[in-house]
A and B are shown apart, each in its own frame.
Chain A
Amino acid sequence: METGTIILIVVALYLTISLLTGIIPSLRISSSVKGYVAGDRSMNVFILYFVIGASIFSSFAFLGGPGWAYSRGAAAFYIIAYGIIGIVPLYFFGPRAWRLGKKYGYVTQAELLSDRFDSKFMSVMLALLSVVVFIPYLTLQMVGAGYVLNVISEGMIPYWAGAGVTYIVVLIYVYFSGVMGVGWSNAFQGMFMMVMAWVLGIYLPNALYGGIGEMFTAIMEAGHTAMLEAPGFTAGGEPWNWWGFSSAVLISAVGFSVWPHFFMRSFAAKSARSLRLSVVLYPTFLIFLVPILLIGFSAIVAFPGVEQADSILPHVLMQLELPAIVIGLFCAGALAASMSSGDAILHSAASIGIRDGVNQVLKTPLADKTERLLIQISVLVIGLVAYLFAVVIDVSIVALLLGSYGGVAQIFPVIFAMFYWKRATKAGALSGLFGGILVNTFFLIFSHLKPIDMHEGMYGLAANLILLIGVSLLTKPDDPARVEKFINSGATRK
């Protein structure tokens, strides 16, 4: 059989299994908004583990990770480093959000915040912010899928068709099954990716150099020792400084647990304990980034001079004369990475946009059935918009996404204050959140004005904290009854 046909069969098989694992759960959840957005709060540890883990295994990890290792060396360790501390807040926030959700019916992050700080405005703004950030995020996942299929099929599958077919599958299962479809398909995609990454990450250093130690020795002997010294290089090829590295780790870690699509999975958990256990097991997913980076390192000596670092993985695979079935499996692995993040983002963008945005500005709240239907329609609309961006992509979208990390990190202080600081007030929270976002955006655009070469999110956080604390202390305390509800959401001690 021809190579191209075998690759296509493997990919088609993978997509069919994804579709089935995504569709079947729809038979079991209720037809309410709670069922669609929070899976009737029924996710067990197994599914939650993959949902939480898959959120970082996007196209960025599968293509960008090896690309970073290849072009920026030790800078790539940043991708593992921030996850270790970034997951910790969710251990504390998650169960509190879950308890409040169970008692009062919350299913999104903005619902919690707007109730604590008594501000519909905050909910609507957060919804807007989420949708603005999620669309480019989703676009990048589609670009990744289209790109991989195009390169591996040597142009046989056009870019627009690859992205289109993959995301039609995602649209179908997200439309019908909501979060449970995301959960079950992520479990399948996650296991698949893990196997592919370990196989490739161990196979490539062995095939090209005879082992992992031998590979790193070869990199040093070729005069690239500096690549292996932290903090590595910047995107421009200059040595990265510790300010830059440390502030990037810190901002990504701070923002990690409060990404709206990530945070809201807390509401889908079966119990506070199962949520906690999935958080505890998260670092095992991080270890799975190790082989991903090994793939990139393996190409430094063997395939020098590849201009587009993100294409290093497909590039290496095409050079190796691997059996067609292996290439097909890799292709499916890259699609799994793209889809397992893409589906979660798509689902959250639609849920948040309708529930926290549209529903808040209406005079009479939507009926449950109408709301669910509107969310489903938004899934289709947002999918289509992101696809249009993907087909006419330009650089500004990548920049928009990178800029959003600093913006999302600004949600952290208000979440923390919601659970742990009684004295935080509505005015303080609003000015902190939006002041932080403004300062972050300012230094993102005018980066030459930064006093020290740190991540712009750090400046945002500084302004955010000053405003949150300062304005809160200057204004009257919020209604104690409302505040206590959130402060006392911890577990009962024995």
Chain B
Amino acid sequence: MNGRFWFCLTMILIALSIMWPGYTLFSSATPLIFGFPLSFAWIIFCTIAGFIALMALYLYDNRNEEAD
């Protein structure tokens, strides 16, 4: 199990969270989270999660690969 495997798994989960079926669980307008409707806040949350996953993969790859 290497870092790339975990990254791909995370990304598949994120993909399923921003469309059917995952997004259907977070599709309502309420509650407001920091003033944003749940449906909007969820997408923002997923964007941040995707960013963190990419960052982690980048650090992992830099440790394990030669630079070129």
Chain A interfacial positions (CB closer than 8 Å to B):
74, 77, 80-85, 87-88, 91, 99, 211-217, 220, 225, 228-231, 242-243, 245-246, 249-250, 253, 271-273, 276-277, 279-280, 282-284, 286-287, 290, 293, 491-494
Q: B48-68 toward A: CB 8 Å interface, digit per residue (1/0)?
A: 101100110110011111111
Given A88-B11, A492-B65, A494-B65, decide whether A229 and B39 contact each other with a Cβ distance below 8 A. Answer: yes
Minimum CB–CB distance for B19 against chain A, Å? 4
A189 and B51 alpha carbons, distance in the complex (Å): 23
Across the interface, do A230 and B62 meet the contact criterion of CB distance under 8 Å?
no
Across the interface, do A246 and B27 meet the contact criterion of CB distance under 8 Å?
no
A277 and B51 alpha carbons, distance in the complex (Å): 11
Pick from A84, A99, A279: contact of B47, CB under 8 Å: A84
* Extra A-B contacts (12), CB below 8 Å, given A229-B29, A246-B19: A80-B44, A81-B43, A84-B47, A85-B11, A85-B14, A216-B32, A228-B37, A231-B27, A249-B18, A276-B61, A287-B44, A494-B63
A276 and B20 alpha carbons, distance in the complex (Å): 29
Across the interface, do B29 and A220 meet the contact criterion of CB distance under 8 Å?
yes
Give 9 closest A-B pairs by Cβ, nearest first: A213-B35, A228-B29, A246-B19, A230-B27, A283-B51, A212-B35, A491-B65, A84-B50, A242-B20
Across the interface, do B39 and A242 meet the contact criterion of CB distance under 8 Å?
no
Across the interface, do B47 and A250 meet the contact criterion of CB distance under 8 Å?
no
Pick from B20, B32, B51, B68: contact of A245, CB under 8 Å: B20
Contacts of A272 in B (CB 8 A): 67-68
A215 and B40 alpha carbons, distance in the complex (Å): 14
Residue with the highest number of chain B CB atoms closer than 10 Å, among A220, A228, A279, A284: A228
Given A280-B55, A287-B47, decide whether A229 and B32 contact each other with a Cβ distance below 8 A. Answer: no
Number of residues on chain B facing chain A (CB within 8 A) = 39
Across the interface, do B67 and A243 meet the contact criterion of CB distance under 8 Å?
no
Minimum CB–CB distance for B34 against chain A, Å? 8
A245 and B39 alpha carbons, distance in the complex (Å): 14
Across the interface, do B66 and A277 meet the contact criterion of CB distance under 8 Å?
no
Given A279-B54, A280-B58, decide whether A493 and B40 contact each other with a Cβ distance below 8 A. Answer: no
Chain A interface, DSSP helix/strand/loop, else mixed: helix
Across the interface, do A228 and B40 meet the contact criterion of CB distance under 8 Å?
yes
- Any A CB within 8 A of the CB of B6: no
Minimum CB–CB distance for A192 against chain B, Å? 22
Chain B interfacial positions (CB closer than 8 Å to A):
11, 14-15, 18-20, 23-24, 26-30, 32, 34-37, 39-40, 43-44, 46-48, 50-51, 54-55, 57-58, 61-68
Across the interface, do B67 and A84 meet the contact criterion of CB distance under 8 Å?
no
Contacts of B37 in A (CB 8 A): 74, 216, 228
A91 and B4 alpha carbons, distance in the complex (Å): 12
Across the interface, do A246 and B20 meet the contact criterion of CB distance under 8 Å?
yes
A286 and B48 alpha carbons, distance in the complex (Å): 10
Pairs A–B under 8 Å by Cβ, sample size 24: A74-B27, A74-B37, A80-B43, A82-B18, A84-B47, A213-B34, A213-B35, A220-B29, A242-B20, A245-B20, A245-B23, A246-B20, A276-B58, A279-B54, A280-B54, A280-B55, A282-B54, A283-B48, A283-B50, A284-B51, A493-B64, A493-B65, A494-B64, A494-B66
Contacts of B27 in A (CB 8 A): 74, 229-231
Contacts of B23 in A (CB 8 A): 230-231, 242, 245-246
Minimum CB–CB distance for A418 against chain B, Å? 19
Given A74-B39, A283-B54, decide whether A273 and B24 contact each other with a Cβ distance below 8 A. Answer: no
Give the residue name and chain of the B residue nearest to A88 (CB): B11
Given A85-B14, A85-B50, A283-B51, decide whether A77 and B68 contact each other with a Cβ distance below 8 A. Answer: no
